[in-house]
Amino acid sequence: MRKNIALSLFILLTSLLTTVGYGQTSIQKFINHPALKHASVGISVVDITTGKQLVEYDADKSLTPASVLKLITTATALEVLGENYRYKTDVALDADDPSRILVIGTGDPTLASEVFQTNPDLFFTTAVDALKRALIPSREYTLYIVDNLFGYDGISPEWTWIDMGNYYAAGAYGISVYDNSYRLIFNTTDRNAPPRILRTEPQMNGLTFQNELKLNNTGSDNGYIYGVPFSPERTVRGNIPAGRIEFSIKGDIPNPGLFLGETMATYLKQAGIKIKKVETAKADYLARFSTPAANQPYRVGQVLYSYVSPPLKDIVREVNVESNNHFAEHLIRTIGRNSNHNIYADALEEGITFITKYWVTKGIETTSLQMYDGSGLAPKNAVSAQYLTNLLIYMHQQSTCSTSFFNSLPIAGIDGTLKSFMGNSRYRGKIAAKSGSIGGVQCYAGYLIDGNRRLAFAIMVNNFNGTRTEVRSAIEQFLQGL
């Protein structure tokens, strides 16, 4: 009997030592990869069931997460707002001025979006139908777009110039329209001349473009649009493929509230409704900021139409599967405004403050977390691998929105930003995770579910010297070793 017990203990000990040894060997092989020679690396792998740390390397080091930061934004949004939360945009008459039409924004990023509806113009056609039934054809009306819920600092102060003006760095405001982005379309058939601007879709009246684009023969899209929020001036730089009758790049709509108002005015005029002026709440917002005692510039009367967004769980899935920066920025500001209803309090700062405090109440240490946006675009964002696995375990084991959070993650080898990741490995379809990449950064964090084995992992690589393909391959090899 004693021999059997001794033998069992020996086998168990040998197994544990082998596992630990193999884990350390895998880590050493990973961090010694030539592409990571000068990189900073953080690794945390935890057994979800037992909470045991299986593999770690500088797990408490704060590193730039890129889009992996979206895990924190989306988890918090689900926790605080609930998976069935929906935004609502009301179209109403001003109670004090029945000739004034109000469009009251609540920060919905899905308004006239291409993501959830086949016809992005459905909001306008449906709203105009409702207005046409209620308005007096002989009267002239004013459109007043209430887009001030998040204030007018729609981008993070830590975003870089190279990003501002591009669709993936669109500003987030109380009103969003067409994903706050447009396409700039070129003809590049003349190889001896710069790309020729044809048009924008949708048509952006008032925007001017300084075209410094060049042509390439590689077929790659290296074109970028530069510009600051609310400015009509844009500069186009980089290079795009030659020999195309039409080729497009995407930029951000500089003033979404005004553009929505102008678009709605066009639809109303086509329906026979006279619109004499379109304005947004920006001027009144800034005036009241200087003179807080000033009267409220409008009073909501009869609501004629309401647009309701898809549920939050669908919005969160779009954020994580497609790494949608624009939706993520709306979410963090919604969190901030939900915690502080004062529209003059910075919605982004309020969101960041709330997130940091919230996870402490859930027993997750946040000293490694430094947030400057909700999407991960700011290079100064930082978080540890250990924080990420703690968050992942909480969402899997304790959150009432566990299923919605898990289902929001792309699956390795199958969809979203992980479609080409681990596709030829035995873990294809068994990893649900968020990827993150900006200059010199490649990170992955999520779940590995293989039968009864359930792991939460975070692998963060900063300042690598090899190619991104080499780093991705090294991460894939490491994960296969798990």
For the residues of 167-180, what is the DSSP string, one character each? GGG----S---GGG
Residues 263 and 170 in one domain: yes
Residue where a domain terminates, one of 256, 290, 308:
308
Looking at the fold, whether 241 and 388 belong to one and the same domain comes out as no
Decide which of 260, 282, 308 is a domain's last residue. Answer: 308
pLDDT at 262 over 60: yes
Does residue 5 have a pLDDT over 50? no
Confidence of residue 320 (pLDDT cuts 50, 70, 90): very high
Instruction: Tell me what the mean pLDDT of segment 282-298 comes to.
Output: 83
pLDDT at residue 100 greater than cutoff 70: yes
Q: Is 17 part of any domain?
A: no
Per-residue pLDDT tens over the stretch 350-408? 999 999 999 999 999 999 999 999 999 999 999 999 999 999 999 999 999 999 999 99
Span 13-26, average pLDDT: 47
Angular region, 416: left φ>0, alpha ψ -120 to 50, beta rest:
left
pLDDT in tens, 156-214: 999 998 899 999 999 999 999 999 999 999 999 999 999 999 999 999 999 999 999 99
CATH number of the domain bearing residue 32 = 3.40.710.10
Do 70 and 97 lie in one domain? The reply is no
DSSP 250: E
The per-residue pLDDT for 295 is 75
Residue 80 has what pLDDT? 98
Beta bridge partners of 90: 104, 306
175 in the same domain as 62:
no
Same domain, 182 and 265: yes
Instruction: Tell the residue number behind the tokens 């002239």, with chain if given.
Output: 140
* Number of domains the chain contains: 2
DSSP secondary structure string, 109-159?
TTTT-TTT-S-TTHHHHHHHHHHHHHS-TTSEEEEEEE--TT-S--S-TTS
User: Quick check: is 250 in a domain?
Assistant: yes
Determine whether 468 is exposed, middle or buried from the number of CB atoms within 10 Å of its CB (0-12, 13-18, 19+). middle
Quick one: pLDDT at residue 294? Answer: 67
Torsion sign, CA atoms 129, 131, 136, 138: negative
Determine the pLDDT at residue 465: 93
* Same structural domain, 51 and 94: no
Residue 1 counted as domain residue: no
Domain extent, residue 348, equals: 28-83+314-480
Residues 324 and 442 in one domain: yes
410 in Cβ contact with 320 (< 8 Å) = yes
pLDDT exceeds cutoff 70 at 9: no
**Co-location of 157 and 198 in the same domain:** yes
Query: Do residues 94 and 207 share a domain?
Result: yes
Alpha helices in 135-291, H assignment, sequence order = 256-270, 282-290
What's the pLDDT band for 1 if we cut at 50, 70, 90?
Answer: very low
320 and 302 belong to one structural domain: no
